[in-house]
Amino acid sequence: MKSSHQIELTAGIFLLLAIAALVFLALHATDRGVVSGESYEVTARFSNVGGLTPRATVSMGGVAIGMVDAIELDPETFEARVTMRISREYDNLPDDTSASILTSGILGDQYVGLEPGGSPEVLQDGDRILITSSAMVLEQLISRYMFNSEEGQGEE
Amino acid sequence: MNNGASHTVLTAPLRELGRAGLFLLTAFSRMRFGPRQLAEILRQVYFAGVRSLVIIVICGFFVGLVLTLQTYDTLTRFGAADAVSTVLALSLFRELGPVLAALLFAGRAGTSITAEIGLMRATEQLDALDLMAIDPMERIVQPRLLAGLIALPALVLIFNLTAIVGGIFFAVFLMGSDPISFWANMQSSVELMRDFGGGMFKSVCFGFVAAWLAVWFGWSARPTSEGVALATTQTVIATAIAVLVLDFILSAFML
């Protein structure tokens, strides 16, 4: 039988071990998002976001620079308003940057791809990206191909 | 209720539940925190937690191994072996970690709490404490309840960690996956609050229920050797059922 001093010491070590496991798992195994430091918000409107979900990646040139924060439906225009957080590291994006919803691979996740424009002005916190192109919806592509006339259905 | 027998069959479990609930209320209404109480809680954390460490670590490691083995095999058929760490981490954090650790905890620590208190009852130690004006609720019951609440989440954390180590051992060392993409895939799909935090919330609930049932069955055991044996069995059965039912309810609420 151990003395009560030793028991308390062992219990203390045990709890310390658990806290270490907590810190390690919380920091090392979970997603804190691409944006961990300073970030700023921009919004973009799409007529159709397809399968885009919050926390999806925002990338430019294939490099992840931020993530989707929220997706809401604008009650007046009935467009999807996508709020994105972009890392402060990339605060020099031109304000005519365009956004499109793309898919990584055939069955991969959807993400927002940004394409830089040429304007000397830069995007500020809270700005809106004006040039957008919606997600490709497979059914619409097929029906457009088959009937060749089905234009403007929910598109711009 | 037309006769006495069916009356008893129907109401006996309800009465038992009511008594267990009242018991819990009494235990909490007499809650006192002093340095002696804290030392006693720490002692019980040692008995419930540290003593369960061996079984938790070994089982955690092998659960991680077998989970990775199975998902690796299945996912390679779809050419998605990269997702193995995602499946491992999500199923561990959300379900398997809390549930398996709680079941092991019931078998290892719950039974020993029940047997200990049951024997205290059988050998009239609880009455002796009462005679010495020491409240057994405060001295015996509360530290064990609180220790369960603390020890099980700690064990779940260690279980999760060793299971991930087991998963890495299989995927990286045996199958030659890339450790960096293993971690990166895990990080990109596990959400801190929803997946990890949700699992930890579950483990706190399970720890509470497991400790409550263990203490209650020991407390209410018939003071004979058969009574204590029965109470120990009941602890395992009741905890297993309670944990699995509660797991479904909590999951349904959290998703």
Kindly report the average pLDDT of chain A as a whole number: 81
CB contact under 8 A, A24 and B186: no
Where does chain A show beta strands of DSSP type E? Answer: 39-46, 57-60, 63-73, 80-87, 98-103, 110-115, 127-129, 131-133
Q: Identify the weakest region by mean pLDDT among A27-36, A54-63, B66-75.
A: A27-36
One DSSP character per residue, B14-26 reads HHHHHHHHHHHHH
**Whether the Cβ atoms of residue B203 and residue B152 lie closer than 8 Å to each other:** yes
ipTM of the complex: 0.74
Contact B154 A12 (CB under 8 A): no
What is the average pLDDT value for chain B, to the nearest integer?
Answer: 89
Of A12, A22, A28, the CB nearest to B183: A28
Task: Identify from B52, B161, B203 which residue to disrupt to test chain A contact, counting A C-beta atoms within 10 A and taking the largest count.
Answer: B161
Q: Looking at residue A111, what is its pLDDT?
A: 86
Give the whole-angstrom CA distance, residue B62 versus residue B60: 6
Percent with pLDDT over 70 in chain B: 97
Could you give phi then psi for residue B80, rounded to 5 degrees?
-120, 40
CB contact under 8 A, B187 and A28: yes
pLDDT in tens, B23-45: 888 888 887 777 888 888 889 99
* Contacts with A3 from chain B: Cβ below 8 Å: none
Q: How large is the average pLDDT for residues A145-155?
A: 62
Checking if the pLDDT of B2 tops 80, the result is: no
Residues B155-189: tens digit of each pLDDT: 999 999 999 999 999 988 888 888 888 887 888 78
Helices B225-254 and B111-122 pack at an angle, to 10 degrees, of: 140
Q: Report residue B167 as tokens.
A: 């998963």
Which pLDDT score is estimated for B152?
94
Question: Are A29 and B183 within 8 A, CB to CB?
Answer: yes
Interface with chain B: mutation pick from A22, A32, A59, highest number of B CBs within 10 Å: A22
Interacting residues of B147 by C-beta distance below 8 A, sequence separation 6+? B41, B44, B45, B47, B48, B49, B211
pLDDT at position A88, please?
85
Residue A32 confidence (pLDDT) above 60: no
* Residues of chain A contacting residue B195, judged by C-beta atoms under 8 Å apart: 30
Rg (chain B; Cα; Å): 21
Report the alpha-carbon distance of residue A72 to residue A83 in Å, rounded.
8
Q: Find residue A87's DSSP bridge partners.
A: A39
Q: Taking 50 as the threshold, does the pLDDT of residue A156 lie above it?
A: no
What is the predicted pLDDT for the residue at A31?
Answer: 64
pLDDT value of residue B100:
96
pLDDT given for residue B1 in this prediction: 44
Question: Which stretch of DSSP H or E encloses residue B167?
Answer: helix B142-168
Residue type, A100: S
* pLDDT tens-digit series, residues B201-225: 999 999 999 999 999 999 999 999 9
How do residues A71-109 score in pLDDT, each as one tens digit? 999 888 888 999 988 888 888 888 888 898 888 766 667
Report pLDDT for B233: 94
Is the predicted pLDDT of residue A150 greater than 60, yes or no? no
pLDDT band at A49 (very low <50, low <70, confident <90, very high): confident
pLDDT the model gives residue B4 = 56
